[in-house]
Amino acid sequence: MSAFHKNSRLINNSKRIMSFINVLKRILPAETIQKGFMIEEKSCLDCNEIIHGRADKKFCNDQCRNNYNNQRNIDTPLIRNTNTILRKNRRILEELNPAGKTKVSRKKLLNKGFHFDYVTRLYRTQTNTTYHFCYEYGYLTLNNDEVLLVKKVDDFGK
């Protein structure tokens, strides 16, 4: 038998094996195949198509990888809106408090669109005074209409 015929017989055999596997894949429950009963196959994390190629591949191609990563990085509207408010709060405090400590009226903050209830952390002093912070800029509601603005230089020491 010539080398050519040997090769084409091998190809025919492997074609037959592949179609046999495809038949099994149709009739066996998916988990049987995934457990490695027949063959170790992984599907694309994005489109679920069977992946061909290296065993550690997770996606068919770059497009599937990009789709998957973009989906995962999409924030919900609540997260986006909250982040926007927090950033705006910080900007207002920074703008009104360039020296690091000052007093402003509550009304002035409200007029600029400040949201008093959106903060990144509370800071309670030993005398039980609670400062509200948006990142490094904080405020303390004083009596009447006054608000003390402060700036924290360190990172609160966690």
Question: Which residues lie across from 101 on neighbouring strands?
Answer: 150
Which of 21, 38, 47, 85 is in the footprint of Zn ion by CB under 5 A? 47
Based on CB atoms, which residue is closest to Zn ion, 38 or 47? 47
Lateral strand order in the sheet of 146-151: 101-105, 146-151, 137-141, 130-134, 121-124
Q: Name the residue nearer to Zn ion (CB basis): 40 or 75.
A: 40
Q: Does 45 bind Zn ion (CB under 5 A)?
A: no
Shortest gap between Cβ of 17 and Zn ion (angstroms)?
25
Interface with Zn ion: number of residues (CB under 5 A): 6
Structural contact between residues 116 and 109, judged by C-beta atoms closer than 8 angstroms: yes
> Does 138 interact with Zn ion (rule: CB under 5 A)?
no
- Using alpha carbons, select from 112, 139, 109 the residue that is nearest to residue 123: 139
CB atoms within 10 A of CB 93: 24
3-state secondary structure of 6: helix
Under rule CB under 5 A, residue 92 binds Zn ion: no
Using rule CB under 5 A, residue 119 touches Zn ion: no
Tell me how far apart the alpha carbons of residues 59 and 49 are, in angstroms, rounded to a whole number. 9
Supply the minimum distance, in Å, between the C-beta of residue 48 and Zn ion: 7
Candidate segments 22-30, 56-64, 78-86, 117-125, binder of Zn ion by CB under 5 A: 56-64
Residue ranges that bind Zn ion, judged by CB under 5 A: 44, 46-47, 49, 60, 64
